[in-house]
Homo-oligomer: A and B are copies of this chain.
């Protein structure tokens, strides 16, 4: 059995969605047990109402919540009874738990992780988003939105973390590392990126140079290094544009009455379904933590739980064969 701790609070959609997602995951994975942290009574009522297997559920009461308006730096000290802090504290102390899932304030999660699950270097953790690229392989984008002000050394640190992840989790022997910039030439980039380019070129990593936004997820690299501001932009602009084109296909279908347009829409939706991609992996800390987006629905909670299960079993996080089927 694999035990995963889930912070039920902090989500944009409320704790009900998180608890429901956890129950669906229990249904789907026989080898899963969950520790749910939040309002005891609420969680108890919900899991009972949903008919979940109570033998595989542990509930830990935490009355307080860290929300998106809380200051990450201070909240982790000022709210010791928040579900996030209680979950991190529990996770740090117990060896029977192999993964943690959170969908709240990213900054507070990072601060809290540093405090309770600090890695060897005690650096601020990075958040990696492992995504399907258009070549049908995987690209690890980091930092994907946690640390927005980075210096060149931090970017190099991220390159190492991402490289390590792609080696360990995905069996890629010599991961190709690229640096996100506004031009492919080494002279392109802001000050930090230009400096990072030099350092990466001198490093022992398999550095393949700069990539631009239009080719970043084209499959030319296994690890895409950037600061959290740029990483967030890459993920969100990708999402926004995909949504826009999909909406246009629906409009076209309505305008023309085309059945086939709706089939194409469904096909693409399946391929680009954000929820099925799971969450961001925190790197540079001592245990495995995955952060889903605040808007994560039940399905996203299930797929993120699957990611954690796979990571605990040292399995590949995504099923490549399944991917080939889709596209």
Give residues in A with beta carbon < 8 Å to B. Answer: 68-69, 71, 134, 145, 148-149, 180-183, 185, 187, 189-191, 193, 212-218, 227-230, 232-249, 251-252, 258, 260-261, 264, 267-268, 271-272, 327
- Chain B residue at minimal CB-CB distance from A243: B214
Q: Is there an interface contact between A268 and B242, defined as CB atoms closer than 8 Å?
A: no
Q: Is there an interface contact between A71 and B213, defined as CB atoms closer than 8 Å?
A: no
On chain B, the residues within 8 Å of A230 by CB distance are: 229-230, 233
If A233-B233, A252-B267, A267-B252 touch, whether A242 touches B239 (CB-CB below 8 Å) is no
Instruction: Provide 19 A-B residue pairs closer than 8 Å at the C-beta atoms, listed in order of the A residue.
Output: A69-B185, A71-B187, A134-B247, A148-B189, A182-B228, A190-B229, A212-B232, A213-B240, A214-B236, A218-B240, A234-B237, A241-B241, A248-B268, A248-B327, A249-B268, A251-B327, A252-B264, A252-B267, A264-B264
Q: Is there an interface contact between A182 and B148, defined as CB atoms closer than 8 Å?
A: yes
Cross-chain contact of A213 among B216, B235, B260 (Cβ < 8 A): B235
* A272 to B244 alpha-carbon distance, docked (Å): 11
* A237 to B212 alpha-carbon distance, docked (Å): 8
On chain B, the residues within 8 Å of A190 by CB distance are: 148-149, 227, 229
CB distance from A318 to the nearest CB of B (A): 18
If A182-B145, A190-B149 touch, whether A241 touches B251 (CB-CB below 8 Å) is no
On chain B, the residues within 8 Å of A258 by CB distance are: 260, 264
* A149 to B190 alpha-carbon distance, docked (Å): 6
